[in-house]
């Protein structure tokens, strides 16, 4: 592979929690050297002058839905991979909530093969924790790990049978597998389209209390304490869940937590006009919850920010709010949406990249997510200040259900590199 030298860049290093001006040398797909600010221009290989734009580790997005097999019309590995590259995402960790569910080694091997053929970015598939994601019988975790499963999850289908879940956690613990769960009390949250409060009442929408998330997390923490399993909560979205998470971490449990970019940048008032692109699961929270969760990311209590990319076609969204499908696409909007937090002074860039890149890579045991010498050259060059008007018709995803349609945003990806190969360059 050719040699690439990046010069005159603002290097965002989430591992060292700093931004410095300098450069990087990339050879054979890996970072081989850091260059100082006043490094002389090299003549060998390709030289890229970054013009003081920001160079950071590529985003590692944990919890992306790609709709192969079964619903390829919503999102394919090709379209999802192109969207990821355009959004500065160099590794997507895919969910198993496909049709059929990714719950056998054969299905997992199909997914891996399709991803390697079609996607320009790294793809790590997660596998279902129970067969058919039905919460009755656990999958063959050992065989699935051998087939390449990065983690195990039933996504938003909460396992209600505590004995089944505890057995699955115990078995996962014996194999060192990571279990990703959706903390939510399924009975309280069933059928909910909004967070309980004045707005939901005025709009006549079925709602759920944030306590449903707290109750689900409390149950899961008790089971982690009992089994010693490696556990990740996919979305913590309300303030009431944070004290329980803090106690679990203080107790030394092997627990991490994530949140979605939509819950960090939008709130419950955004559903006031019944726009179904704002219907998510869990539903958008109050502004106090949004700020509390953003602060938890800043302090490190919440470890990971992800897109929770969930493509839905027009037919499933063009319905009354209560009946419409939940979810939004976010691979291309993750970085500019995160810039809202940066420009508002809530979270600085190294902390954002710690949550979007370094921490998810560490949790999954990957070498990426950092700028250290020897790490894969998975990189994103971006301008955090570049303004634009979001137009969903320009998105590369097959489905274009973004809540940011028509919004004024800042932050453009200029180029994306996977193992030193440019997979996206802004025209």
Residues 160-180 pLDDT 10s: 999 999 999 999 999 999 999
Does the pLDDT value for residue 40 go beyond 90?
A: no
pLDDT in tens, 241-292: 999 999 999 999 999 999 999 999 999 999 999 999 999 999 999 999 999 9
pLDDT at 179: 98
pLDDT at 57: 98
pLDDT at 42: 63
pLDDT at 361: 98
pLDDT in tens, 359-404: 999 999 999 999 999 999 999 999 999 999 999 999 999 999 999 9
Does the pLDDT value for residue 212 go beyond 90?
A: yes
CA–CA separation, 37 and 22 (whole Å): 4
CA–CA separation, 192 and 411 (whole Å): 33
CA–CA separation, 105 and 113 (whole Å): 12
pLDDT at 86: 97
pLDDT at 304: 98
| SS3 of residue 332 by DSSP | coil
- pLDDT band, residue 37 (cuts 50/70/90): confident
Does the pLDDT value for residue 91 go beyond 90?
A: yes
pLDDT at 38: 81
pLDDT at 43: 59
The answer to whether the CB of 205 falls within 8 A of the CB of 274 is no
pLDDT at 332: 97
**Mean pLDDT across the chain, nearest whole number?**
96
pLDDT at 1: 55
pLDDT at 199: 94
The answer to whether the CB of 381 falls within 8 A of the CB of 11 is no
Instruction: Average the pLDDT over each of 33-42, 180-189, 356-365, 415-424 and give the range with the smallest value.
Output: 33-42
CA–CA separation, 356 and 306 (whole Å): 6
CA–CA separation, 189 and 30 (whole Å): 46
Residue 202, judged by CB atoms within 10 A of its CB (0-12, 13-18, 19+), counts as: exposed
Cis peptide before 69 (omega within 30 of 0): yes
Per DSSP, helices labelled H in 286-401 are: 287-299, 314-317, 334-343, 349-353, 359-363
pLDDT at 45: 81
Residue 342: HSE in the Cβ half-sphere, 13 Å Cα cutoff: 18
Q: Is 390 left (phi over 0), alpha (psi -120 to 50) or beta?
A: beta
Q: 396: which 2 tokens?
A: 């590369």
What distance, in Å, lies between the first and last C-alpha atoms of the chain? Answer: 24
The answer to whether the CB of 211 falls within 8 A of the CB of 205 is no
Tell whether pTM > 0.85.
Answer: yes
Average pLDDT over residues 103-132: 95
348 phi, psi to nearest 5 deg: -85, 170
Does the pLDDT value for residue 339 go beyond 90?
A: yes
- pLDDT band, residue 66 (cuts 50/70/90): very high
pLDDT in tens, 409-423: 999 999 999 999 999
CA–CA separation, 206 and 188 (whole Å): 11
Average pLDDT over residues 189-203: 94
425 phi, psi to nearest 5 deg: -140, 125
Average pLDDT over residues 76-105: 97
The answer to whether the CB of 8 falls within 8 A of the CB of 49 is yes
CA–CA separation, 225 and 212 (whole Å): 20
The DSSP code for 130 is: B
Does the pLDDT value for residue 44 go beyond 90?
A: no
| SS3 of residue 29 by DSSP | coil
pLDDT at 17: 96
């Amino acid at each position: 592979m050719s040699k690439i030298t990046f010069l005159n860049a603002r290097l965002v290093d989430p591992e060292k929690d700093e931004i410095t001006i300098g450069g990087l040398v990339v050879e054979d797909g890996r970072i081989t050297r850091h260059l100082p600010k006043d490094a002389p221009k090299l003549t060998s290989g390709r030289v890229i002058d970054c013009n003081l734009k920001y160079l950071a580790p590529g985003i590692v997005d944990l919890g992306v839905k790609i709709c192969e097999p079964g619903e390829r019309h919503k999102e394919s590995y090709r379209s999802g991979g192109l969207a990821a590259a355009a959004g500065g995402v160099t590794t997507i960790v895919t969910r198993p909530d496909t049709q059929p569910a990714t719950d056998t080694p054969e299905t997992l091997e199909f997914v891996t093969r399709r991803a390697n053929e079609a996607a320009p970015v790294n793809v790590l598939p997660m596998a279902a924790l129970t067969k058919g994601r039905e919460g009755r019988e656990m999958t063959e975790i050992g065989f699935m790990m051998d087939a390449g499963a990065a983690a195990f999850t039933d996504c938003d289908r909460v396992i209600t049978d505590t004995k089944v879940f505890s057995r699955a956690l115990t078995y996962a613990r014996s194999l060192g597998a990571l279990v990703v769960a959706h903390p939510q009390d399924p009975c309280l949250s069933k059928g909910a389209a909004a967070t309980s409060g004045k707005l939901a009442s005025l709009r006549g929408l079925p709602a759920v209390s944030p306590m449903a998330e707290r109750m689900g997390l409390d149950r899961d923490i008790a089971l982690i304490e009992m089994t010693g399993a490696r556990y990740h909560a996919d979305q913590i979205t309300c303030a009431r869940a944070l004290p329980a998470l803090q106690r679990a971490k203080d107790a030394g449990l092997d627990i991490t937590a994530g949140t979605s970019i939509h819950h960090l940048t939008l709130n419950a008032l955004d559903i006031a006009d019944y726009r179904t692109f704002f219907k998510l699961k869990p539903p958008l929270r109050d502004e106090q919850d949004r700020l509390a969760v953003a602060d938890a990311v800043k302090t490190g209590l919440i470890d990971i920010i992800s897109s929770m990319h969930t493509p839905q076609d027009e037919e499933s969204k063009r319905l009354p709010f209560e009946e419409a499908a939940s979810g939004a696409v976010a691979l291309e909007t993750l970085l500019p949406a995160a810039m809202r937090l940066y420009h508002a002074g809530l979270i600085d860039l190294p902390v954002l990249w710690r949550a979007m890149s370094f921490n998810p890579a560490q949790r999954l045991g990957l070498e990426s997510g950092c700028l250290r010498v020897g790490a894969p050259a998975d990189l994103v060059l971006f301008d955090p200040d570049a303004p634009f008007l979001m137009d969903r018709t320009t998105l590369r995803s097959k489905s274009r259900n973004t809540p940011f349609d028509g919004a004024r945003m800042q932050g453009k990806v200029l180029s994306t590199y996977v193992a030193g190969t440019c997979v996206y360059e802004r025209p």
